[in-house]
Structure 1
């Protein structure tokens, strides 16, 4: 399969979504019965592209905060300054969440409250009461890239909508804390899930917003059954026909790519990849993966990350975090009920 993939690579960054390859059989979910969906435009949306971590309004009943929409974590995380009287709210106990990309460790309490998410034109959705992490302290890992410890955290507002994050120092980041999977209201049937696009997010999967050439992957369940497993993927560097297969994270919370590959794939690179190195990402299990996209490091193309942080390890599973730049080539769907991820090329 990767011999054919190497022949199909485009010059620079490009879509490889089945380029020059026969379509592979795929299981397609049926969203025809569903009508409850709403589009929230990012507060910092630019026409047709994404060039920064998306922002969305977050409200606990008052004026909305300007929060980051992060598909690389799960759960709403907000500084205690923004939740006056949280001590009197229903609590689920101590909270702790680590952002491994920055090395910041959030410490606080899980309080239970409904929240509203607000888009650029004022459209909004409201959730049922769910756990929200109120941050009272920020700690730092020893290897933190960006972190300043404090007992008086400020300006923290994150809406985490990712899945399968429990294994990345986020054991408390379970689906019950994902606000986009607990939206209320409407008069019809609702399919809890979302579609990320360059300009905004569709909340609720419907017959209308799932039209088009989505390519789907059916996720496995985590062994404990509490969440879906991570999205399987394969990484090929420098035109390699022997990819490293592990998992991929579509992370709207970062501009850079984080990658872990074995030494055989790194070809002597350490810490980062040399400019011009070809990177090709395919989606699915080894042997049945389909090519998604490729880029050359430093080519400045829309889907290429601003930088690549490389970890070379033979004792760790291969992994790639795409950064938000992937949304310049694809809309990305997550079905939290059925366990599907879908990619629709622009």
Structure 2
């Protein structure tokens, strides 16, 4: 019944519900000892709704690029044309990163260098030296949606700030390559983490930028201890029970939602003549967390044009664990926190 109720609520009403009912939320960390935080406004920020993949300034090798900030991948990825003489920098060897949403496979070298990230108003942060993927070739998966192979890559500039991405064809994309978790400098203790909003990103977690009604979830560590596990989540289509459970990814790098659910959950929701799509009006409800820590996050109807609804839904029907990639549209309803040191995610309703 809870999923049926949520599916009938508009986005604004649902956000109010979440803010008013923190009973199942976990206790978040105390950020009062930390003051090293800076807000980087997206270069393409507009008042109101986020309506495109956010961009941020990326400076390396003496040149500033207009790069995409992508929470669906981990690591800075740039075409070799932007790093002349990269062979002279220290290297960690051959590099490979696959963007499964598009099917592009980036090949090159992990070159170690400091980088600077900047926002529209000139604020900037500089990292400690970290591996950057300098791309010398692009290959394509057989199932690629948007990809052109080349041995002369151009115009590639991505700042990957996601976590728990190693299992999605990004085995080399470990936290040491995440620029927002490796910020250097400052005069006091720093909590390495960030808050994504629809207009920019807070780099470094402080008492000031974590004010408000955040709903926190404590993540589990990977078995090898190198990273945190993905955010647990459940999905229900048209109020079907029980929901399909797995994980959720808040991905600022895409406008469309990517969803995997089992056949029983997709029954009656998938278009018969267009496999891989959901029928207009299909109610989608997403909850996050597991067990007593779980709480409903948001819902929408396919094609309803609401601010948090994705531009499209790519559906995969499989008995594998359920998965949902929200797209950047979720930031129209929530600020999203990631604490890379403590292993917390948080959702703050607008």
Q: What TM-score does the superposition give when structure 1 sets the normalisation length?
A: 0.96
Residue 332, structure 1, aligned to residue 336, structure 2: yes
Secondary structure of residue in 2 paired with 1:202: strand
| Contact 2:42–2:56, Cα closer than 8 Å, also in 1 | yes
User: Which runs of structure 2 are paired with 1:149-164 in the superposition (5 Å)?
Assistant: 149-164=149-164
Count of residues in Structure 1 that have an aligned counterpart in Structure 2: 343
**Partner Cα distance (2:299, 2:288) in 1:** 12
Q: Deviation string for 1:247-283 (max 9, x for gaps)?
A: 0000000000000000000014130110000000101
Residue 244 of structure 1 corresponds to: 244
Cα shift at 1:10: 3.5
SS at match of 1:64: strand
**How much has 1:48 moved relative to structure 2?**
2.7
Does 2:275 correspond to 1:275?
no
CA RMSD of aligned residues (A): 1.4
Q: Distance in 2 between matches of 1:331 and 1:21?
A: 17
Corresponding residue for residue 347 of structure 2: 343
Q: Distance in 2 between matches of 1:186 and 1:91?
A: 27
Mapping of 1:83-122 within 5 angstroms? Answer: 83-122=83-122
Q: Which runs of 5+ in 2 are unaligned?
A: none
Matches of 1:235 and 1:8, distance apart in 2: 12
C-alpha contact 1:96 1:108 (8 A) present in aligned 2: yes
> 1:49 corresponds to which residue?
49
User: Within 1, Cα distance between the matches of 2:88 and 2:6?
Assistant: 59
Q: Normalising by the residue count of structure 2, what TM-score does the alignment of the two structures yield?
A: 0.95
1:7-50 Cα distance to aligned partner (Å, 9 max, x none): 24444545535458572151211101000000000000001320
Q: Which piece of structure 1 moves more, 21-30 or 42-51? A: 21-30
Secondary structure of 1:294's match? strand
* Residues in 1 aligned to 2:248 and 2:172: alpha-carbon distance in whole angstroms: 21
Kindly report which structure 2 residues correspond to 1:21-32, keeping only aligned pairs within 5 A, or say none: 23-32=23-32
Relative distance call for 1:289 and 1:148 in structure 2 (3 A) is same
